[in-house]
């Protein structure tokens, strides 16, 4: 049976809806008794980002970071959200905070490398990717980024 583009599109739509439904389920569990807690705002931010609403996502996770400034996860999420939106300077600031709060987490090192790479600062990007790999030698995306930098 031949698939039409309509079939593919509707299948993709169902997959996205299933993913969103799972996130919404998680959101309900996390926010059950505290809809404005830092964790609740963080989860709302992830949902907004998944739906391409970067302004809303940054605002929500920014509020979470203000309420709980010692939480590296909020800073990392803010940095990732800003990077996805193309806001490189605020992304770098938030990711540096995440690294300061939890220097052994390879994820913000990797994303900071992406920020530097997008800003054409290859030396800083390489340093971040190397640090990411020093923390987790199996961090596949960092290996790919390093290989792409070598290829030029």
84-122 pLDDT tens trace? 999 999 999 999 999 999 999 999 999 999 999 999 999
Q: How does pLDDT run across 10-44, given as a tens digit for each residue?
A: 333 333 445 666 766 766 676 666 668 898 899 88
Residue 8: its pLDDT value, please? Answer: 36
Give yes or no for a contact between 80 and 50, defined as CB atoms under 8 angstroms apart.
Answer: no
Q: How does pLDDT run across 126-147, given as a tens digit for each residue?
A: 999 999 999 999 999 999 999 9
Residue with tokens 């990007």: 125
C-alpha dihedral sign at 25, 74, 55, 16:
negative
Phi-psi label, residue 98: left if phi above 0, alpha if psi -120 to 50, beta otherwise: alpha
């Amino acid at each position: 049976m031949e698939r039409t583009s309509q079939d593919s599109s509707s299948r993709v739509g169902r997959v996205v809806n299933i993913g969103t439904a799972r996130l919404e389920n998680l959101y309900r569990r996390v926010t059950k008794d505290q809809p404005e807690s830092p964790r609740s705002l963080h989860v709302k931010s992830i949902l907004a980002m998944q739906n391409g609403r970067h302004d809303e996502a940054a605002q929500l996770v920014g509020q979470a970071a203000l309420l709980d400034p010692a939480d590296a996860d909020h800073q990392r999420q803010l940095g990732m959200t800003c990077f996805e939106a193309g806001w490189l300077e605020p992304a770098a600031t938030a990711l540096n905070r995440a690294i300061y709060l939890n220097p052994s987490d390879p994820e913000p090192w990797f994303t900071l490398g992406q920020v530097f790479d997008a800003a054409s600062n290859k030396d800083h990007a390489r340093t971040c990717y190397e640090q990411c790999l020093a923390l987790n030698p199996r961090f596949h995306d960092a290996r790919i980024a390093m290989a792409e930098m070598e290829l030029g």
